[in-house]
Amino acid sequence: MTSSCDDGRARHPFINFVDISTALRIRGILLGWILFPIRATLTTLFLLLMWPVARLRLAGLSEAERAVPVQGWRQWFFFPIMVFLSRAAYFCMGFLWIKVKGRQADLKEAPVLVVAPHSTFLDMLVLPVTGLPTVVSRSENIRLPVIGALLEFNQAVMVNRKDPESRKKCVSQICERVTSDGRWPQMLMFPEGTTTNGRVLIKFKPGAFLAGVPVQPVLLHYPNNPDTVRWTWKGTTWLAALWHTLSQLYTNVTVEFLPVYTPSEEEKDNPDVYAENVQKLMANALGVPATDYVMDGRFPVRKLGGLSLPLESPAQETLRLLRRHGFTDAHVEALMNTMIDSCRSGQSTMVTADHLTSLLGLTDRITALKICSLYSKDQTVDLKHVCVSVSAVSGFTSLESLLHTVFTWYDSDDDGLLSSDDLSALMGVLVGVPQYDITEMYSALTSRGRPTEASLQNILMTHPVYGKLLTDCLRFRGLTTADANHKGIVNGLNRGFYNGHKTNNHLMK
């Protein structure tokens, strides 16, 4: 795994582009004009047939009756119909054969099926293969036409990821179901929690492992050339992936059941260890690396002592955009200093793309819009986030100077001490992405005494984990580290290379 905050592109799991030769592209276009409309129409027809079946299964039941497993004639009559319609829908999309390897464990052997890699919305084809086990889904999906009815049929566990109470309720429901001694059906989960390109396994979320019950790992393989099904954070869109997939004569898929994994006592007590060990086992079976990459909010990151470090640094990308626009290093440095001075004035630091265009002296608005999109969902950005994160990766300023500035901004009580929330905000602006889990770092900070500015600088320079921020991700003028591996070399710079990339040494003078 790479160590740079802005590297890892050789195995970046959140980017995927369909690689199609000219000949295959021409064939896809010709077949697509015929196959796509036919397959899309037939698939839609089967989905529409599934809708009333889903509604009828729960018709007339009270909320209390819907909160327990549906049994009796509603189960044996409607369930086989839904399995057939689900498989028919995927058949129409070109999944003519679904190859199955291994044996699916029964409910008593493994109450939970964990499926990886999660590469596409089409992965749901594993449901009819495994007998429509219950799933976990975002609460907003229940309002979608057809999808909402299918989730109700499935008696899925719904969760609002933004609501802590909803997340707690979800965990409670999962644990209740998988320890119900066969009362509830098997549960199926994608522990990665988001789609990737399948070249690595990202960090497993602990939800499937919280109850400490045996799980059965299930691998999904798509041995196709071209590989059209994958849809990720960046790259081929879901619509393009659907077009390419439905335009193939057929699409191969293999569902592979691995032996049931029974947790040790240590794993039962620690779901994170349990999840990590299952991840490594599945990665080994797939022949890919097991990584600590996760999708944290809007950003793909890797974890370092609880901190989220971006795989694609917004600050590095901002620097690239400005340099592409013709800005020299001296110009960028002057701009960052001007923005820091502006933030010190006490005025609002939230600016629009138009204001940023003017502030940076850009000739067009497009670059400002791109910078805004790196840090936020809309056309506004907090200047503090831009000027601090860019300064922290550029080598234009010293650690002491920048740390003093941000400490002053985020010391909410003006008492010279950081609270946990203060540290979260400070590290978020320094690294360039929000920090949702600062507990581990705050504990490390306070274990050395009072959480002062000097203590924070000390932990960044000497801590065996958090010191890696200065050697791997951030870059400050004139800073040497105590890291024996760097032997006093200016941080991040070794014989003309920074973070694995060739650099201009004059930037550090």
3-state secondary structure of 435: coil
Take residue 112 and report the two structure tokens written for it: 């939970």
d(CA 256, CA 247): 26
Residue 199 CA to residue 10 CA, distance in Å, equals: 10
Q: What is the pLDDT of residue 112?
A: 97
Q: Does residue 265 have a pLDDT over 70?
A: yes
User: Would you state the structure tokens that stand for residue 294, as one six-digit string?
Assistant: 């996760």
Mean pLDDT computed over 369-395: 91
pLDDT in tens, 53-99: 999 999 999 989 998 999 999 999 999 999 999 999 999 999 999 99
- Spatial separation of the C-alpha atoms in residues 479 and 395, rounded to whole Å: 9
The structure tokens listed for 507 are 């930037």
Average pLDDT over residues 268-283: 96
Residue type at 406? V
Does the pLDDT of residue 493 top 50, yes or no?
A: no
Mean pLDDT of the chain: 88
Question: Residue 18: left if φ>0, alpha if ψ -120 to 50, beta else—which one?
Answer: beta
Q: Which SS3 state, helix, strand or coil, does residue 388 take? A: helix
What confidence tier does 482 reach under pLDDT thresholds 50, 70, 90?
very low
Inter-residue long-range contacts of 171-174, CB under 8 Å, 24+ positions, other chains counted: 171/207, 171/210, 174/136, 174/207, 174/208, 174/210, 174/211
Domain extents for the chain? 9-296, 310-508
The helix, strand and coil proportions of the chain, stated in percent and rounded to the nearest 5, come to 50, 15, 40
Residue 42 tokens read as 């037939």
Per-residue model confidence as pLDDT tens digits over 173-200: 999 999 999 899 999 999 999 999 999 9
- Residue 11, pLDDT score: 54
Calculate what percentage of the chain has a pLDDT beyond 70: 92
pLDDT tens-digit series, residues 216-247: 999 999 999 889 999 998 888 999 999 999 99
- Asked if pLDDT for residue 293 goes beyond 50, the answer is yes
Q: Decide: 253 and 98 in contact? Cβ < 8 Å.
A: yes
Q: Of 509 and 255, which is predicted with more confidence?
A: 255
Higher pLDDT, 157 or 485: 157
Cβ-based neighbour number of residue 82 at 10 Å: 20
Long-range contacts of 479-483 (CB under 8 A, 24+ apart): 479/398, 479/399
Q: In a 3-state reduction of DSSP, which class is residue 346?
A: coil
Q: Residue 191 corresponds to which tokens in the numbers above?
A: 């522990």
How do 112-116 and 187-189 pair as beta strands? parallel
The number of C-alpha atoms within 13 Å of 146 and in the hemisphere containing its C-beta is 10
